[in-house]
Amino acid sequence: MPTTRILVVDDSVVIRKLLSDVLSADRSLEVVGVASDGRIALAKIPLLKPDLITLDIEMPVMNGLETLAAIRKLYAKLPVIMFSTLTEQGAAATLEALALGASDYATKPSNTGSSAVAIERIRGELIPKIKALCGVVTWTVAPLVRPTPAVKVRTALNSRVEIVAIGASTGGPNALAKVLPLIPKDFPVPIVVVQHMPPIFTRLLAERLANHSAIGVQEGAAGTELRAGQAWIAPGNFHMTVKRAGLRWSLELNQDAPENSCRPAVDVLFRSVAAAYGANTLGVVMTGMGSDGVLGAKHIREAGGEVIIQDEASAVVWGMPGLVHAAGQADGIYPVDDLAREITRRVRQNREAGAPLSSAQCVGQELGAK
């Protein structure tokens, strides 16, 4: 079986040695070279012909952002994973790198106090991303959802959408940057989002999206009441859920066990939204590795809601949306550039006179009759 050829670029001798040893220990991976700065890396790429590059951000001579920009001019499709520190500065630089075309990122293991822990962190976070980006991993879905060759055909329930729930992972920040800024300012329902990211990253992502969007975008906080024309992104290391109390819906956060090795997890959010909004839910599963979101999509559709997904051609990794499709839990497949338009269309299509009452309206009528 051919191996994935990797070029490790980092100014730290210790990190270069650690990455080389850990990655090369996997039989499907081969570190074909290392470089201590961007200029050396650019000189080595045509000689070594790597399949993927791991790239540090803070380096002398030519830093990671400068190197990435040069790589993208010369090798538009060469996968690049940023290897950054879990700090405010590192997170901000990583988001900038993703906007410049980085394929994904992994955080450096720091303050672990143990080389064994550091090695496990790299094995658990970086290696799966390398394999996903280079197409050497096959995702499996839990037995609860039996894969089917085609999307299940359902009778349209024609329910009025009262909330949009979005899940994304690898490639998600750039995909969200193409979707949320195109949502109109008068969007009539709230949006809740899980993007697999650690603490700090999610807050900075929300701020970055808010600067380019007509709707409000912020990191989710416990007790926040949901309102139309606003999007909330689940904070790193917390599951985010939606809870209904009478005519009000609000956000809750918890640190329950990770699901699908993720916290926040898309499945957790989707389950709670399906329970709180029922058939008035529109789920959206975007680019990402793994199977998070498949079971949550099933919950939404069993409650009568609908789920749409990003197509394979526009996804960095078609793991999450691809498995939703394979499990027969998708009601539509769209390129990322069409998702905002489709979300808006579905939300607005049943808001004219004569459309079925939403859950909120039904509760209001019940309360008024008492």
**Is the model's pLDDT at 232 over the cut of 60?**
yes
Give pLDDT, residue 367.
33
Phi, psi of 359 (to 5 degrees): -60, -40
Question: Active-site residue among 292, 311, 331, 338?
Answer: 292
Q: Is 26 a catalytic residue?
A: no
89-91-92-94 Cα dihedral, nearest 10 degrees: 120
Report pLDDT for 145: 40
80-120 tens-digit pLDDT: 999 988 889 989 999 999 999 999 999 888 765 678 888 89
Q: Sketch out the chain's domains with CATH numbers.
A: 4-133 (3.40.50.2300), 163-361 (3.40.50.180)
Say which of 36, 159, 169, 358 is annotated catalytic: 169
Q: Is residue 169 annotated as a catalytic residue, yes or no?
A: yes
* 183-192 confidence digits (pLDDT tens): 999 999 999 9
CA atoms within 13 A on the CB side of 348: 11
pLDDT digit string, tens, across residues 135-174: 876 555 444 344 343 344 454 456 899 999 999 999 999 9
Mean pLDDT is lowest, of 22-31, 171-180, 350-359, for 350-359
Distance from C-alpha of 227 to C-alpha of 190, rounded to nearest angstrom? 5
Indicate if the pLDDT at residue 343 is higher than 50.
yes
The residue that leads in pLDDT, 142 or 247, is 247
The one catalytic residue among 103, 196, 311, 325:
196
Reply yes or no on whether the pLDDT at 277 is more than 80. yes
Which pLDDT score, from 0 to 100, does residue 112 have? 58
Split at pLDDT 50, 70, 90, the class of 4 is: very high
- Residue 245 φ then ψ, to 5°: -135, 100
Distance of CA 116 to the CA centre of its chain: 28
**How confident is the model at residue 154, as a pLDDT?**
52
Residue 295 in 3-state DSSP?
Answer: helix
How far apart, in whole angstroms, are the C-alpha atoms of residue 63 and residue 42? 12
Question: Could you confirm whether 196 is annotated as catalytic?
Answer: yes
